[in-house]
Amino acid sequence: MRKVIIWLAVALCTFMLGFVAAALLWFPVAKNVQETPCPPSQHSEDASALDPNADLSTSTTLPILAYCELVNNPDRYSGKVVRIRATLGGFIHGILFYEENCPGQTAVAIPQSNDEVRRALTEAAGSEYFGHVPLNLIVVGKFEKVTPSNESDLIWHTSPLHFEIMRVEKASKAR
């Protein structure tokens, strides 16, 4: 019995030391990510977004916004069609845009009827499960700031930012 108690005490101490070490390593990283501000916007509102009813072919004249610009100014771009550079990733709860130096994430949707977008993402990822392979993208789509419904744990239901991809201009595996 004594050996079991000693073994459990050693295991508990090892676990606690591991947990503390992981926390000490993680917190400075998280602090640096939050303290890294995105560069200020260099675009005027009229030139960087389209009305959602506008002809999509005119989106090629839009400047390519950094994902950070979208996250830092969601009210400015909400309800509009924008052209952005972002990293796409995902897991079991959905796909999303994210960047290391920007806080938050944006839930991503692809209309079921848009085979062209699905094909471009599948080719870039080398798999139909493109959300599991981080991709660097330049895309055109509709951005919206929403109130999360929280009806499930899907990213679409918990994220305050939504982006519907309408066209993929460039896609490659993130390195």
What pLDDT was estimated at residue 20?
61
State how far the Cα of 64 lies from the Cα of 47, in Å rounded to an integer. 11
Q: What is the pLDDT along the chain (175 residues), one digit of tens a residue?
A: 888 888 888 887 787 777 665 555 544 434 334 444 455 544 444 556 655 655 555 556 789 999 999 999 999 999 999 999 999 998 889 999 988 888 878 999 988 888 999 999 999 999 888 878 899 999 999 999 999 999 999 999 999 999 999 999 999 998 7
Q: Residue ranges per domain, the chain?
A: 1-35, 45-173
Cα-Cα end-to-end distance for the chain:
52
The SS3 call for residue 121 is helix
Residue-level pLDDT at 27: 45
Of 93, 69, 82, residue with least CA distance to 139: 82
3-state helix, strand and coil shares in percent for the chain, rounded to the nearest 5 = 40, 25, 30
Name the pTM for this structure.
0.69
Give pLDDT, residue 34: 42
pLDDT at position 90: 87
Which CATH architecture is the domain 45-173 placed in?
A: Beta Barrel (2.40)
